[in-house]
A = this chain, B = another copy of it.
Amino acid sequence: MIDLSKLSALELHYAASKLLSDYVETIDEDRLEQWPDLFVTDCVYQVIARENADRGLPTSAIYCDSRGMLVDRIVALRHANIYAKHYYRHVLSNVNVKGVEGDELVVQSNYVVLQTLVEGDTHVFNAGKYLDRMVATPDGLRFKRKVVVFDTYRIPNLLVTPL
């Protein structure tokens, strides 16, 4: 298991980037059943508008506080939700390691999600930042807490697929 306290700044940056790349791929490649596996069991996944986050208001578009809830979301998406078929494509940058706090790696990054609908055009769907807390596990780094703060507060479609 990785010992975060023994890694250099550069190695921490690489480890964080790698987890983020794996995260994005599970979504963009529609391997959503693997998406919850990138979180530890006792985790938080929150999607919140920048307006609310900046004012300290707790109202979130999505709030899940266990991996089980993440699994439920994917089951619902596959079997219950009705929505327009679409592709997501994440572009992520400015992965900025803020430090190690206890056993957690604190990382911030910017993202933009491009969406392609059936009619074929690709457009900016959502942009914002990730505020992540990652922990080492025997399987590699995993998310302990992921907060998605989005700038786009008019979301044109139901937010089904995770950001």
Query: Which residues of A approach B to under 8 Å, CB–CB?
Result: 9-11, 13-14, 17-18, 20-22, 24-25, 28, 50, 87, 89-96, 108, 110-112, 114, 116, 119-124, 126-129, 151-154
Contact = CB atoms under 8 A, between A and B. Distances in A.
A91 B116 contact: no
Contacts of A111: 91
A59 to B, nearest CB: 16
Copies in the complex: 3
B92 A94 contact: yes
Contacts of A28: 110, 129
B89 A112 contact: yes
Contacts of A112: 89, 91, 112, 114, 122
